[in-house]
A and B are shown apart, each in its own frame.
Chain A
Amino acid sequence: MRKTIVSAAIAVAALTAGAVAIAAETVTASESEQKPPHRHWHFEGPFGTYDRAAAQRGYQVYAEVCSACHSLQLLAYRNLMELDLTENQVKSLIKDIQVPDLGDDGQPIERPARLSDSFRKPFANPAIAAAANNGKAPPDLSVMIKAREDGPDYVHGILTGYVPFDKLTPEQIKEFNLTKDDNFNKYYPGHRIAMPPPLADDKVTYADGTKATLDQEASDVVEFLAWASEPKMEDRKRTGVRVILFLLAMAGLMYAVKRQVWADKH
């Protein structure tokens, strides 16, 4: 009986693997997009954590570049304290930010941001955002890293995957019907992306002296956005280790008890 189950299980596995293999082949054949290369991230793996220094630099990139168009509406300024920044450091980071509110007379006003405020949105609503960006609103980035397949690699790929018009082959220009005003991105589905290249070498000047290469900026902002997408990740992994250790011990005990209970029946 046991042998039958094992061999049958192998048969099932083989059949399924065959089907998946055929499937995988058709998929690679049908997709023209390049997959962004896998990079190592500090937050990967069962014990990975966010690199705080990188995430702080990433916030600087977001604040100085991305935030002109992209909102981060699920975050509040108080959340920045989770990146090992003190209350006063966060307050000085946001001291020039004005957020919309209603005055005592009920009229709209702008006032300095508080820690409890959500991140300032670049556009008051999606319609305004779309109107200001050729009809397509720049997406919110709060959970962007979780909202794409292989999110960290994908976002890094998009940020670094632009090909300037003069570097494109005539075939590419023809195939994708490109003009000088279009943006070609290796990793964007369909390649024609509305967003102009947002980052470049020395686009920001890092306070900690890190050299601001394009790759560095992209990696840092991905680290920051990964944290923004899943701020409780470290807590989750820590809890997970404890839970699994407990369950392993409990399983061991239960197995011993079960064996003893059954000792006279075998």
Chain B
Amino acid sequence: MASSSIPAGGHVDPTRRDFLMVATGAMGAIGTIAVAWPFINNLNPAADTLALSTVEVNVAPVQVGQAITVKWRGKPLFIRHRTPEEIKAAEAVPMSELRDPQTDNSRVTDTAKKVRPEWLIMIGVCTHLGCVPLGNNPGDPKGEFGGWFCPCHGSMYDTSGRIRKGPAPLNLAIPGYLFTSDTLVRVG
């Protein structure tokens, strides 16, 4: 479109003209992309949001068999002090029965590779469509596998937070966490 209307002046060297047009067009394109970047980048998490992405939780008050919910990065974090029976039940499940095969051991290991089977720390967000499953409070339905039950579409999780029944494709996610002492855990 552009070239058709440039009158072919006899004294203008066509290759130089084309070169100029291409160079200007290329510079313009680079400039446009460079301008677009800050606008896109602007929507990324801000420095203060990122700074808050770590929480420290004192788990000493959580008795065996109890669970607490903590807010972390805007989502619920489930921390369950499991009973020996729950741990045994979780460890006994054969991998072949799992939709998303993971050993119980691998789900209770902190970032320093230390295994604490009594503490199960998970992001309490159903992997189906993002509802918060029930099962943390004493009166909650826990589903057929004694873990968690998502009321939205009926996904059921076992005592290791693994998906066993219902539409959810994956186990409840485990965040990176580190026990800085026996009762103090840092998440994120």
Contacts and interface: CB of A to CB of B under 8 A. Distances in A.
B24 A253 contact: yes
A256 B54 CA distance: 55
Interface residues of A, number: 16
Contacts of B28: 250
A104 B61 contact: yes
Given A104-B61, A260-B20, 20 more contacts: A78-B51, A104-B58, A115-B51, A116-B48, A116-B51, A116-B52, A116-B54, A246-B27, A246-B31, A249-B27, A250-B24, A250-B31, A253-B20, A253-B24, A253-B27, A257-B20, A257-B21, A260-B16, A263-B11, A263-B12
Interface in A221-246: 246
B34 A263 contact: no
Interface string B128-154: 000000000000000000000000000
Interface residues of B, number: 22
Interface of B: 6-7, 9, 11-12, 16-17, 20-21, 23-24, 27-28, 31, 34, 47-48, 51-52, 54, 58, 61
A143 to B, nearest CB: 17
A163 interface: no
A78 B20 CA distance: 49
Given A104-B61, A264-B9, A256 B51 contact: no
Nearest to B2: A261
A76 interface: yes
A71 B171 CA distance: 47
7 contacts: A78-B51, A104-B61, A115-B51, A249-B27, A250-B24, A250-B31, A253-B24
